[in-house]
Amino acid sequence: METKLPEHGAEVVLCAVGAATSWAESLLTREELERASAFRHEVDRRRFVIGHGAVRVLAACHLGMESSEVPFLQDRRGRPELPGTGLECSISHSGDLVAVAVADDRIGVDVQHHPEEIPLGWQLVAIDAELEPTGPNPRTHFLHRWTQMEAIMKVTGLGLALPKTSRTLIRDTGLQSCYDTPFGMANCITLELDDDHALSVCTIENLTWFLSAAVADLVSGELPVLRSWRGDRTVPNSSPDDRQVQPPSVQPKTH
Ligand SMILES: CC(C)(COP(=O)(O)OP(=O)(O)OC[C@H]1O[C@@H](n2cnc3c(N)ncnc32)[C@H](O)[C@@H]1OP(=O)(O)O)[C@@H](O)C(=O)NCCC(=O)NCCS
């Protein structure tokens, strides 16, 4: 299926978890709606519905079809898929934010609200050196790393089944990190959205790409877009040593 993505390898959209969800509900399958209605908290239901609706709207923009026609599945591990479209996708939610990404290759996205204190449960998970809170701002360092780990878990599709020993940090420039994984080199870019939120995007490719603020008219309608970014390839087939990630240009989306 032809898409508009080849010249823009990835697209990431950040949405608000607003009150209105009917636009998204109208796109979901009966099974998804049943899952949504099982959430105990209304905010969890809205995050789920908006994530699943937004990923269809974004994919539809690139596929040139109606959002309601976009095929959407989740595999047995929960990895979202757009079968038969040639696109890959990822979903994340935290607090009042939902992030969705579509790409022409595997992609993982993770958005995370910064808690005041690093929760004990997280600290127990974070026994690997990469996650150890260090530097002048350990809390921020930890949260950036955490979103990168989550994005890697998603890009591989393994989620928590990805063994910690199977990823090795081989390059780290703070907001841009590269990990060796059984799936290939995982390139992560982290965006500090504001004082309280960070977002990481991960792809598995031996090429250079960067995120920049995307054009405002990419998605329209009822999708409550706060910001969006476009991932562009610049040096296809570069060797790992040639790989570099450009500093992201993070700007609020203007309508
Ligand atoms: C899959 C995982 C990444 C979920 O992350 P999370 O931060 O809890 O939740 P997010 O909102 O960011 O992402 C959830 C979305 O990930 C997607 N997802 C779930 N399993 C996935 C998988 N195996 N591969 C790719 N994506 C997956 C789903 O679309 C899900 O949203 P949905 O249920 O509404 O469809 C998994 O790592 C996890 O459960 N982590 C728990 C926290 C943890 O221990 N992290 C360790 C960090 S070192």
Q: What percent of the chain has pLDDT over 70?
A: 75
The mean pLDDT of 169-195, rounded to a whole number, is 86
Give a yes or no: residue 143 inside a domain.
Answer: yes
Give a yes or no: residue 247 inside a domain.
Answer: no
**Helix axes 30-37 and 42-63, enclosed angle (nearest 10):** 150
Q: Which run of H or of E encompasses 100?
A: strand 97-103
Lowest mean pLDDT among 70-74, 85-89, 156-160, 209-213: 209-213
**Count of domains observed in the chain:** 1
Give a yes or no: residue 186 inside a domain.
Answer: yes
Give a yes or no: residue 238 inside a domain.
Answer: yes
pLDDT tens readout for residues 107-143:
999 999 887 766 666 666 655 666 776 777 877 888 8
The mean pLDDT of 152-156, rounded to a whole number, is 93
Other C-beta atoms within 10 Å of 134: how many? 12
CA distances from residue 253 to 77, 111, 164, 215, 227 in whole angstroms, order as listed: 33, 17, 36, 8, 5
Q: What percent of the chain has pLDDT over 90?
A: 42
Domain span at residue 146 reads 10-242
Q: Tokens at residue 159, please? A: 């989620």
Q: Using an 8 Å Cβ cutoff, are 10 and 101 in contact?
A: yes
pLDDT tens readout for residues 6-17:
455 888 999 999
Given a cut of 50, whether residue 49 has pLDDT beyond it is yes
Main-chain phi, psi angles of 186, to 5 degrees:
-100, 115
pLDDT tens readout for residues 55-110:
999 999 889 899 999 999 999 999 999 999 999 999 999 999 999 999 988 999 99
Ligand 1 residue neighbourhood (C-beta within 6 Å): 48, 51, 77-80, 91-93, 110, 125, 146, 149-150, 153-154, 157-160
Pocket test for ligand 1, best of 110, 150, 167, 197 (most atoms within 8 A of CB): 150
Give a yes or no: residue 106 inside a domain.
Answer: yes
Average of per-residue pLDDT values in the chain: 80
Tell how far the Cα of 71 is from the centroid of ligand 1, in angstroms.
20
Phi-psi region of 128 (alpha: psi -120 to 50; beta: other; left: phi over 0): beta
Give a yes or no: residue 1 inside a domain.
Answer: no
Q: Using an 8 Å Cβ cutoff, are 238 and 183 in contact?
A: no
CATH of the domain at 46: 3.90.470.20
Predicted confidence band at 244 (pLDDT cuts at 50, 70, 90)? very low
Helices (H), 103-238: 120-125, 138-156
Q: Tokens at residue 150, please? A: 């989550």
